Structure 1
Amino acid sequence: MSGKNSGMDVAMLGALVEPNRMAIVELLSNGPLTVGEIANRLGLSQPHASKHLKVLSNNGIVEVKPEANRRYYKLRPEPFQALEYWATSFKKDMERRFDSLDDYVQEFQNKRKETNEK
């Protein structure tokens, strides 16, 4: 794998490390919710939920959509697409490394077998 992070935002990952923020993301994966709905479902105070939503918003993970007197939070797909792309490229690199290791082990076993047959 190259030294590039393929558009992966490390700050976004840092924002997701906090358990309450991860729980919010999991809730929002089912659709948009208000701060009050998020707070109620997670047993948080509204200010506490708002604090976490601000971090998620500042890191581009959620966006706010005002409707009448409510503000709905929803996930933005782009950060998760970047995460998926990064994870896939990492997986491909690891598979290539394991394939190389398999080739090496097979070559080693063949040489060992040839040596034992002599």
Structure 2
Amino acid sequence: MAGQNGASLQMDKDILDALKRIIRIGVVQSFDAVTRKGRVKFEDKNGLKSSELKFIARPRHIAPNKQPPDQEDDLVKIACDHCPHQHEAYVMDWNPKPGAWVLCIMRPDGSGDGYVVGEV
């Protein structure tokens, strides 16, 4: 970049390095639906596995004709536009499966504490 001095370039590099420690993409290794916590593996950090992270994103989705064992109250009936009856479906929470790629926000202090924001 024209016109930037060495100190400014170093500051830009330091900011970028800090952001790389804070914002990470990894692969879910384990997940506990009750506690909403799990572990993530970061391939760009030589396969480093996280401490237990909190999964904060809970997008809900509709699963037609699939009754989750712990969400019996989430049954919805959807009217059919082209037929005289209704269809059953279940509104379910997002529970990541091992192997899913997720976006993580980590504390920059190196404590290993952080959050999983959602699937990518």
Identify the TM-score tier after normalising by the shorter chain: under 0.3
Give the TM-score taking structure 1 as reference length. Answer: 0.21
Tell which structure's C-alpha radius of gyration is larger: 1
Which structure: greater strand fraction? 2
**Which structure is higher in helix share?**
1
State the TM-score, normalized to the length of structure 2.
Answer: 0.20
